[in-house]
A = this chain, B = another copy of it.
Amino acid sequence: MNSDSAIQALGALAHDHRLAVFRLLVQRGRDGMAAGDIAKALGLPNSSLSFHLAQLQQAGIVAQRREGRSLIYSADYDAMEALMGFLTENCCQGAGCAPSVAQTKEQC
């Protein structure tokens, strides 16, 4: 994780609809959700949602896979942890006070 990719991830999350999408996907876990279903769940026009999904994917915090006719999106937990680690890096002059977020990885 470098500064540029962190900015992209943060910027992707820093939006009403995108944050809602991401949190929905985080709750869904590995199964993810089809684009159309997300649009229905959040009451967004397909074209708008598509725009936002592209940003989340481009930022690397959401993954896409095809299943039948549908495109399924899911949250990328590894990327989420990497982002958190980056934000707390060398916290308090390297006094080792950054939380160990490593456990998220195995548990998901």
Contacts and interface: CB of A to CB of B under 8 A. Distances in A.
Interface of A: 3, 6-7, 10-11, 13-16, 19-20, 22-23, 26-30, 77, 80-81, 84, 87-104, 107-108
Given A3-B19, A10-B10, A19-B6, A103 B92 contact: no
A104 B87 CA distance: 12
14 contacts: A6-B19, A7-B14, A11-B14, A27-B90, A27-B94, A28-B93, A80-B87, A84-B101, A92-B107, A92-B108, A99-B100, A99-B102, A100-B103, A101-B101
A8 to B, nearest CB: 8
A37 B100 CA distance: 31
Contact of A92 (B7, B27, B95): B27
